[in-house]
A and B are shown apart, each in its own frame.
Chain A
């Protein structure tokens, strides 16, 4: 597509429920990143996919968080048993090569009540 597409744009969920967030990167971009933006905080790296390589999961805050990328394209970030501290904007970005910057999606605002 023309840009990075994320869905849903907003998600309100009850504490303890599972949620899935979707990212559709720019066609042909081999690298895909998930970041989390909490209120008043910077961007926190979560996970990175590059081609067929094993993902870099070093930023995932707990084992309740997982992500997959199917066919080298669409990615899904799953949060199990959501907690109130999971409330944040989850940003996805993709890039073609290492040197440049990222192209970000508009994010999914997750609110856990």
Chain B
């Protein structure tokens, strides 16, 4: 079945460090891919998305590229800030018109000043 696997957390970095959170997926169709972020005490927010191979989603300095050949959608940021501390979820919609998103287990990121 369709599934998403994220790198295990927690991840702790210093401010201005470079970030990569790995995400790989399995899907039988042509999925759309998403990253969601959950700040402390809040609901999940859509961070970025990509709907087809080689698309790059970007927002708030974060980027992720849809790599069909490696079935990956790694989240990257060149210089993290304390305010980036949150839980990050990778997700897929298995195919256009699919009703449900499939989520990874989440990766907790803590940025120290």
Q: Which residues of A contact B (CB under 8 A)?
A: 4, 31, 33, 35, 40-43, 45, 48, 50, 56, 91, 93, 98-107
Q: A43-B89, A91-B43, A107-B43 are in contact. Are A102 and B101 (CB under 8 A)?
A: yes
Q: A4-B43, A42-B106 are in contact. Are A101 and B100 (CB under 8 A)?
A: no
Cβ of B105 and Cβ of A42 under 8 Å apart?
yes
Cβ of A48 and Cβ of B99 under 8 Å apart?
yes
Which range contains the number of B residues in contact with the other chain? 20 to 34
Q: Which residues of B contact A (CB under 8 A)?
A: 4, 32, 34, 36, 41-46, 49, 51, 89, 91, 93, 96-106
Cβ of B51 and Cβ of A99 under 8 Å apart?
yes
Cβ of B105 and Cβ of A99 under 8 Å apart?
no
Query: Can you list 23 A-B contacts (CB < 8 A)?
Result: A33-B100, A33-B101, A41-B105, A42-B4, A42-B89, A42-B105, A42-B106, A43-B106, A45-B102, A56-B99, A56-B100, A91-B43, A98-B96, A101-B34, A101-B36, A101-B46, A101-B49, A101-B91, A101-B101, A103-B46, A104-B36, A104-B44, A107-B43
Residue numbers in A under 8 Å from B91 (CB-CB): 43, 101
